[in-house]
Amino acid sequence: MDNSTKISKLQGKVQPYAWGGSQFIPALLQQGNPDNKPAAEYWMGAHDNAPADIITANGQKQPLNALVAQDPVTILGKTVNDRFGRLPYLFKVLDVKDMLSIQVHPEKTAAVEAFAAENKQGVALTAPNRNYKDDNHKPELMLALSDFWLLHGFKPAHQLKQVLQQTPELQFLLPVFGEGNYAALYKTVMEMDQQAVNDHLQPLLDRILPLYEKGALKKEQEDFWAARAFNTFCEPGRTDRGIFSIYLFNVVNLHPGEAIFQDAGILHAYLEGQNMEIMANSDNVLRGGLTNKHIDVSELMKHVRFEPVVPQVITGVPGKAKGEEIFPTPVNDFELHRISLKAGEQTTVTATTADIYFVYQGSAEATAGSEHLPLKKGEAMLAKAGTGVQFKSTDNTVIFTATVPA
C-alpha cells in the first residue's frame, strides 16, 4: 500500500485456539478446513502477535503493523497518532465452541507498569507463565452473531445470596459473603486449597451431572454450565475452581445483533456462540479458571472490581450514513459500526482513522476516488484516515466497521 493508495484489501490471521469451532470461521472466510482444525478467532488488526496483511495491487503482502510504523500520521490520522501512537483497536470474529477461561483485563496504567516489570524480570514474551503480553488495557465490545451465552460480572447481592441459598453445596459461602462482601467471597473460592475445592464441588457435580446427561438442565441455569465445565476442564483429583464463578457471576444470553461492553476489572467468560469483537489493541488476559492455561490468582485479584454488575445490553443507534448503526462505548480506543444495505443500495462513509471494513454477508463494491475494490463475504478492506468510501451492494449486504469515535 503506497502513499497514493487509499483503500486496500486486508487479510486477517486465524488463531487455532483449542476452544474454537472448526466450521464457522472457515465457512465465513470461504476457505476449506479438511483437517477440522479449530478456528477460534480471526484477527484483523496490527497487534504484533498476529498482524493482518495488506494485499497490494500486485498481490504482495505487507504486515499492517509495519505499514502503520512507516507513516503513522498518513495511515492513522494526526489525532489518533498523537493520542495512541498505534492502531488503537483490534478487530476479531470469534467462534466459541467450548467455554473460554474466566478472565479479567487490566487498566492502562497497571498494564504499562506490569509489562515493564515482567520485561525487567526477563520473562519471555512467549513464555506460558507470562501475564502481560503488551503495555495496553483491553476494554472490549462484543456483538452476538448467533444466540450467545457468557458470564459477565458479579451478580447483584440479592440474586447472589438467593443462588447460594438455593444451591445446598454452596450455602457454606453465605456467611463469607454476608451483605455483599464480594472481595472476601472471591478470595475464599480462588485461594481455597485444591482438596477443599474438590470436597465442596464433588457433591454438587454428583447431583447435577445426571441431570445434564439426561438433558434436564437449561442454559439459563448455572447448573447447566457447571456440568459442562466439569466435562470440559476437570481432571481426576482436580476439580476446576472456576465452577464456583459460574454461580457468582451473571449468566447472560445475547440475541443476534445485541452487544455488551466489558471494561477493565469486570470478570467475564464466553460460554457459547459466535460474535464480532472489538477491543483496545491488546492481548492482556489474567485468568481465574475454566482453562488449562496459566492462572495467577494473586495477579488476577489485583485487577478485579469487587462490585455488583447489572448487565447492560447495547443496541445500535443510527449513524450519519445510510444503513449505518453505531454501538457506542465509553472508551476512545474503538467503535463498532454495522452497515446494512439491500441489493443495489449505496452509502458513503468517511474513515476516522485506519478503518477496517469486514463483509459479513453479501457483497459490495468499494470506491474511493478512482480506486475500486470488489468485496465478497469474508473479505476485509482497510481505508486510510480521512478517506471517503462509497459502498454499492450487489445483494443484501452487512458490513462491520472497526473505527474510533469521530
pLDDT at 398: 98
Residue 223, pLDDT > 90, answer yes
Which CATH number applies to 7-62+89-150+254-303? 2.60.120.10
Residue 352, pLDDT > 90, answer yes
pLDDT at 257: 98
- C-alpha cell of 176? 463469607
- C-alpha cell of 38? 479449530
pLDDT at 282: 84
pLDDT digits (tens, 9 = 90+) for 3-61: 789 999 999 999 999 999 999 999 999 999 999 999 999 999 999 989 999 998 888 99
Query: What distance in Å separates the CA atoms of residue 91 and residue 209, rounded to the nearest whole number?
Result: 37
pLDDT at 320: 95
Q: Please state the φ and ψ torsions of residue 278, each to the nearest 5 degrees.
A: -135, 140
Q: Please state the φ and ψ torsions of residue 204, each to the nearest 5 degrees.
A: -65, -45
The model carries a pTM of 0.94
Domain ranges of the chain: 7-62+89-150+254-303, 157-249
DSSP character string of 335-370: EEEEEEE-TT-EEEEE-SSSEEEEEEESEEEEEETT
Give the side-chain half-sphere CA count within 13 A for 150.
34
pLDDT category of residue 139 using cuts at 50, 70 and 90 = very high
DSSP character string of 136-193: ----EEEEESSSEEEEEEEPPHHHHHHHHHHSGGGGGGHHHHTTT-HHHHHHHHHHS-
Tell me the catalytic residues. 287
pLDDT at 289: 80
pLDDT category of residue 334 using cuts at 50, 70 and 90 = very high
State whether the Cα torsion 117-123-125-127 is positive or negative.
negative
State whether the Cα torsion 270-226-308-105 is positive or negative.
negative
Query: What distance in Å separates the CA atoms of residue 174 and residue 163, rounded to the nearest whole number?
Result: 10
Query: What distance in Å separates the CA atoms of residue 191 and residue 176, rounded to the nearest whole number?
Result: 14
Mean per-residue pLDDT over the chain, rounded: 95
pLDDT at 235: 84
